[in-house]
Every structure is written in structure tokens, then in C-alpha cells.
Amino acid sequence: MIRAIFCDLDGTLVRPGGLVLDEDIDLLRQVTSGGARLVFVTGRPSRCLSDLPAAVEELSRRVVTSNGASEVVDGGTRILAALHGQRVRDFSEALRRVDPKVNFATEFESAFGYEPGYAWWPATDTGADGFCADIPDLTSSALTITKLLCRSGDLNAGDLAHKAEALGFGVTVTYSCRPEEGGPVEVMSPLASKGHAVRRILQEAGLTPADAVAFGDRANDIPMLEAVGEAVVIGAPTEPRLSIFASAISVGKWLATHDERWRTHHLGNGGTT
């Protein structure tokens, strides 16, 4: 039986323009009213949750943010896996030797720093809390770094990610765009991934992977999809690595057609987490 649901936000539950399907909200409400836990798991930093549709905000009090480097519970943010400044400087220097046209940005939970040559990506970058500086200054800030963002003038996200992984720093490397797009590639602590977050939450709740279903749509969701008993890709797979999982048109459609997995289930303690 489904006792926990882990759901990506952008592209999975929240569609372009902030659209959320009524059937998704309705079915998630039904599942959680029966006692199943619902946790949102997103690449967004905590500072970028303010524009979520109200219907989504009301569904769960727990959001894993920055691909597992941080989380928000009852409105409070805590950093789970930070990147140390020296490690970021060493990594960025090494990647720039491999790709001289790469530029970097540093993601903080409360701000955003970027190099002069970094091309902004509106899905995550904001104006009021952004500041421009070279990578040595960005990494010496008193703010804690949760992600290093990398964009190349020559390489697409898939190719740049391969270059980054080949450096051998042992960091988590991923991206939430299509591999043929320009990025950014996201670099995080080796202890930060959606999969790490899901396994930790399941352990805290005394649940097993078989008790959980996860919904995602991009490469950064793969660790989460691999960490549960039932994994579902929403929409057409954006790359071959996603094609091994089950697929569905929407979260609501999958829940409706698999209602035997959750409709008769009720946890003794009830509620969502």
C-alpha cells in the first residue's frame, strides 16, 4: 500500500505558467486524507517557493528544496548538505580548465550570486536578492552555498555534466533541463540529492521504499525515482535514463488508475508530513 508520496514540482505537478491540474490536487487531497504522507521534492531553493499556487502549498507542510541540500518544514528552512567555499573554488577552477567558456553562479537559500558572464535562467534567478561577483568572492561570502550552477558557452547540459563528473570531485552533478539545452548544470554536496532526501524521510517515518511512490520528469528526479518502490515519470521521458520508469499523463491520472494501492489504506496517526 502507498503510505508516502514524493512529488517533484516544476514540470510534474506545476506546469508552465503555474498551471496545476484540478485532478492532481483532488487526488492528492484524497490520498493524504487517508493518512498517506506527501512531501514535495524540488530543485528550487527555499527562497523560490513564494509563487507556488495556493492549492499546492496547502497540500503539504514539508518541501525538500535545492535537490535535497535543504528543506522547508512548517515554513522554516534548514540546510542539510552545504558546499564549502574552498571545494567550490577548486572545482570551478578545474572545470574552467576543461571548458574555458564555462561561467558559474552560487545558489544560497536566501540569495543568488553570479559571475559577470553567467547567463541568467529565469526559472531560478531573481533580481532583488542577486549580486554579481567573480567566483572567489562568491565563495568567500558568509552565506552558505547549497548549489553551484554552471553554464557553458559551448557545451549543452548533458555534455557539461559529463565533463563535471569526470573531474572526480565526488560531488553530486545533475540538471533539471533537457540534456540538449544550455543548462545550468547543478553541482551539490555528495550528500545532497533527491534520493538522499527520500531515503532519510522514509527512515525517519519507519517506512520502506515499497511503501512509497515518487513522481518526477527530469534527470534531477532520477535519484528520487530510484529510491522508491513505485516510480512514475510524468509526460514523455526527456532522455533515455528516464524511459526505464513507468509513465503517466499526470499525477492525478496515475493515482486514479491505481486507487487500489491507496484508497483502502489509512494510517493510525493520520495527517501529512
CA distance 150 to 21: 32
Residue 254, classed as helix, strand or coil, is helix
What does the pLDDT read at residue 15? 93
The C-alpha atoms of residue 100 and residue 215 are separated, in whole angstroms, by 37
Q: Tell me the pTM.
A: 0.92
Q: What confidence score (pLDDT) does residue 131 get?
A: 87
Pairing between strand 172-175 and 37-41?
Answer: unpaired
pLDDT at position 60 = 95
Q: What one-character DSSP code corresponds to residue 144?
A: P
How far apart, in whole angstroms, are the C-alpha atoms of residue 195 and residue 205? 16
Q: How far apart are CA 245 and CA 4, in angstroms?
A: 18
Sign of CA dihedral 248, 41, 23, 20: negative
Question: CA 121, CA 128: separation in Å to the nearest integer?
Answer: 15
- The confidence score (pLDDT) of residue 120 equals 65
Q: Mean pLDDT for each 10-residue chunk of the chain (273 residues)?
A: 96 93 96 94 93 93 97 95 96 97 93 87 58 92 93 96 97 96 95 97 97 97 98 94 97 95 58 45
The candidate with the shortest Cα–Cα distance to 194, out of 73, 75, 63, is 63
- What is the pLDDT at residue 264? 62
pLDDT of residue 119: 76
Sign of CA dihedral 130, 224, 226, 250: negative
pLDDT attached to residue 267: 42
Q: Which class for 215: exposed (0-12), middle (13-18), buried (19 or more C-beta within 10 A)?
A: buried
In 57-143, at which residue ranges do the beta strands (DSSP E only) sit? 62-65, 70-73, 76-79, 102-108, 112-114, 130-132
Q: What is the Rg, in whole angstroms, of the alpha carbon atoms belonging to the chain?
A: 18
Q: Which helix (H) or strand (E) holds 137?
A: helix 135-139
